[in-house]
Structures are given as C-alpha cells and as structure tokens.
Amino acid sequence: MTSFAQKVYGIVRRIPKGRVMTYARVARLAGRPRASRAVGNVLHRNPRSFFVRGLAPSERVPCHRVVKSDGRPGGFAPGTGKKIALLKKEGVLFRNGRIAGKFS
C-alpha cells in the first residue's frame, strides 16, 4: 500500500458518523491537493470497508462518507444507491440527489 493510500484511509477513518467530506478535501489533507480522482481510486480498492466481516469498527474505512464537491454522492463499489442508503441511515440529508447543507 502506498503512503498516499495510507494517508487517505487514515483521513477517511476519522470522518464521524453522519458527516461527509469531499474527495478534494481528502486529497488536500493527504498532501496532494490536485489528486481528487486518485482519492476515488484508492477508496475503490478499500480493503477495510464496512462490508468486510471480522473487522473491528475502528479498523474499518467508511469510504461511503466521501462525496463529490457538488454534493452528489459519487461512486461506490456496492452501488450509489447503497451509498445513499448508508448515509441516510447515519442522518445525512439529501435534497434533489445532493447532500443538503454544509459539508467539507
């Protein structure tokens, strides 16, 4: 695993339940401000997703909490509908297919 991937997973692991962060913000925090797409690629290969059995909650990387800068949910390996459902279950509100309210 690259050091960039490790940084991305560490940042995403700290996003609290019910909150989201943009791919761009994750890229900036990981030290590569122009690497939003790279963040998406790293998260697509997430070996510690919520769907991996046997992991402690602190070991999981909640990649469903990372969204596009325009508030749309963005990609998700199990499907966008599943991503939206998980976010709604955590209390994230949507309006017209986008995150309602502020997000970073």
Catalytic choice (8, 27, 61, 63): 63
The two structure tokens encoding residue 83: 């991503």
Report which residue type is found at 94: F
For the stretch 32-44, what's the b/e string if a residue is b when 16 or more beta carbons lie within 10 angstroms of its beta carbon? eeebbebbbebbe
Question: Three-class SS of residue 95?
Answer: strand
Is 101 part of the annotated catalytic residue set? no
Residue 52: helix, strand or coil by DSSP?
coil
Q: Contact 21/15 with Cβ under 8 angstroms?
A: yes
Residue numbers annotated as active site:
63
